[in-house]
Chain A
Amino acid sequence: MNQKTLQINGICKQYGYINILKDIDIKLSDGNILTLVGPNGAGKSTLLKILSTQVRPTKGEIFYNNIPVYKELNIYRKKLAFLSHKTFLYDDLSAYQNLLFFARLYNLNDPDKKVLELLDFLKLNSRKHGPVKYYSRGMQQKLTIARVMINDPQFIYLDEPYTGLDSRAEDLLSSIIFKKKEEQSIIVLVSHDIEKSYNIATKIMILNKGEVYYSGDKKDITLPQIMKMYREVLEQ
């Protein structure tokens, strides 16, 4: 029952005269973690933005649970999360206010309780009323991760999530990814750290100049093979 799927067919993206993405197909289901690998300008981030409905594709369609995304946009958005290296926080608001604002924006049941739970989980209770701008970098990062996951997402998009994280925030992110995998969420990840993302992934896709260079299950390919292909792409 209740199986989650994410599918894109023939996605193309053109910016003026530049083809960022050419004819990309992806099919993911319960508990899949897809890692996107490729050199700069390969179109990884754009693909992630298309999946998270920040950018509309020039051509092609996106389906979640076999429903076209743009048909029930807000229902899909309720279930998705997007994390990049930006914090998405309001510096002058406190952790509590930031979380509460987004909890309400997502129309969660009993937002107050949810927020207090999260603050407890982050061990931020004592400082929940201080402005975010006075928090340490690591604390801000942890707060951002918690903020992005506030709606219990089932479709999670991570754009270079490990870049600039301190070790505690990194641990938090890893544990959340692990938990979300257990919950059978679908995760798509873009990272420069091929080794780390290989370890997390269940599927791997290498992009080059907007086209799929390799796509397959992790079990069919070893890390050295991926590294070799990545170097091939870089040398082109």
Chain B
Amino acid sequence: MKKNNIFDIITILFVVTAIYLVFFYVPEEKTMGIIQKIFYFHVSSAWVSFFAFLLTFIFSILYLKKNKSTYDGIAFSSAEVGLVFCTIVLVTGPLWAKPVWGAYWTWDPRLTTTLVLWFIYASYLLLRKFIDDDQKKATYSAILGIIGFIDVPLVYFSIKWFRTIHPNVFRSGGGLEKSMLYTLLFSLFAFTLLFINLLVKRIKLERLYVEIKKIKFNRGLD
């Protein structure tokens, strides 16, 4: 119990520091102004959601290999938390884009791929909702977790090539100013910590949920 509290405090400290760095430490970008500050959390969320789906992929394979429901719990929890961060990417992206490019949504390859990613993992959660049998639920969603992840690079390249015919309105990243780079790296780390913290909590929650179901079943309540 205590260990968890310490982990929570560390996570909060890092996230608060990241917020401080973004708002008070790092200078405003010359052309984009204050709105560019959303970039730090946008990129961090994108990284975290991708990492989360990678975990889902790995634990889906492990589940199919070892048939242990713990692995299914981790794969599922990671997909769910990942989807939250993926949603953050999809919300912060347009917020950033509107003042800068004049439109909320551009069919930029990365943003579009993120949207497709969102659909894939939303359907992953949907699939689970519609299966009652726990074993089938785990197996089927593991298969989707594997196929979906392998599909991501193919989706990315196809969207990237599809759009290159039109003029590319995006400047390349170029060199980041040093303080900006540090702030970005710090946010990345803080968000990863936040993700791991949430994931651990979600896995525990899932375990408790299974525990309750088990008790209910044994008492003939289910």
- Give the residue name and chain of the A residue nearest to B135 (CB): A15
Residue interface mask B126-161, A partner, CB < 8 A = 1:
000000011100100000000000000000000000
Indicate if B69 sits at the interface (CB-CB under 8 A): yes
Q: Which residues of B contact A58 (CB under 8 A)?
A: 67
- Please measure, in the bound complex, the distance between the C-alpha atom of A58 and the C-alpha atom of B134, giving whole angstroms: 14
Q: Which residues of A contact B170 (CB under 8 A)?
A: none
Chain B interface residues (CB < 8 Å from chain A): 67, 69, 133-135, 138, 210, 213-214, 217
Indicate if A18 sits at the interface (CB-CB under 8 A): yes
Indicate if A17 sits at the interface (CB-CB under 8 A): yes
- Give the residue name and chain of the B residue nearest to A17 (CB): B214
Task: Please tell me if the beta carbons of A15 and B133 are within 8 angstroms of each other in the complex.
Answer: yes
User: What distance in Å separates the Cβ of A157 from its nearest Cβ neighbour in chain B?
Assistant: 21
User: What distance in Å separates the Cβ of A178 from its nearest Cβ neighbour in chain B?
Assistant: 37
- Give the residue name and chain of the B residue nearest to A15 (CB): B135
Q: Which residues of B contact A224 (CB under 8 A)?
A: none
- Please measure, in the bound complex, the distance between the C-alpha atom of A24 and the C-alpha atom of B85, giving whole angstroms: 47
- Give the residue name and chain of the A residue nearest to B210 (CB): A17
Would you list the 10 A-B pairs with minimal beta carbon distance, nearest first?
A16-B134, A17-B214, A15-B135, A17-B210, A16-B69, A15-B134, A18-B217, A16-B135, A17-B213, A15-B133
Q: Which residues of A contact B134 (CB under 8 A)?
A: 15-17
Chosen A-B contacts, 17 in total, with CB atoms closer than 8 Å, are: A15-B133, A15-B134, A15-B135, A16-B69, A16-B134, A16-B135, A16-B138, A16-B210, A17-B69, A17-B134, A17-B210, A17-B213, A17-B214, A17-B217, A18-B214, A18-B217, A58-B67
> Would you call the interface of chain A mostly helix, strand, loop, or mixed?
loop
- Please measure, in the bound complex, the distance between the C-alpha atom of A28 and the C-alpha atom of B210, giving whole angstroms: 38
Residue interface mask A48-59, B partner, CB < 8 A = 1:
000000000010
User: What distance in Å separates the Cβ of B131 from its nearest Cβ neighbour in chain A?
Assistant: 12
Q: What's the interface size class on A, roughly? A: under 10
Q: Which residues of A contact B135 (CB under 8 A)?
A: 15-16
- Give the residue name and chain of the A residue nearest to B136 (CB): A15
Q: Which residues of B contact A18 (CB under 8 A)?
A: 214, 217
Beta-carbon contacts under 8 Å, A53-79 to B:
58
User: What distance in Å separates the Cβ of B204 from its nearest Cβ neighbour in chain A?
Assistant: 16
Beta-carbon contacts under 8 Å, A21-47 to B:
none
- Please measure, in the bound complex, the distance between the C-alpha atom of A58 and the C-alpha atom of B138, giving whole angstroms: 15
- Please measure, in the bound complex, the distance between the C-alpha atom of A15 and the C-alpha atom of B214, giving whole angstroms: 11
User: What distance in Å separates the Cβ of B212 from its nearest Cβ neighbour in chain A?
Assistant: 10
- Please measure, in the bound complex, the distance between the C-alpha atom of A16 and the C-alpha atom of B209, giving whole angstroms: 12
- Please measure, in the bound complex, the distance between the C-alpha atom of A16 and the C-alpha atom of B133, giving whole angstroms: 9
- Give the residue name and chain of the A residue nearest to B69 (CB): A16
- Please measure, in the bound complex, the distance between the C-alpha atom of A16 and the C-alpha atom of B135, giving whole angstroms: 6
- Give the residue name and chain of the A residue nearest to B138 (CB): A16
List 10 additional A-B contacts (Cβ < 8 Å) besides A15-B133, A17-B213: A15-B134, A16-B69, A16-B134, A16-B135, A16-B138, A17-B134, A17-B210, A18-B214, A18-B217, A58-B67
User: What distance in Å separates the Cβ of A57 from its nearest Cβ neighbour in chain B?
Assistant: 11
- Please measure, in the bound complex, the distance between the C-alpha atom of A60 and the C-alpha atom of B107, giving whole angstroms: 55
User: What distance in Å separates the Cβ of B61 from its nearest Cβ neighbour in chain A?
Assistant: 18
- Please measure, in the bound complex, the distance between the C-alpha atom of A227 and the C-alpha atom of B70, giving whole angstroms: 42
Q: Which residues of B contact A17 (CB under 8 A)?
A: 69, 134, 210, 213-214, 217
- Please measure, in the bound complex, the distance between the C-alpha atom of A210 and the C-alpha atom of B213, giving whole angstroms: 18
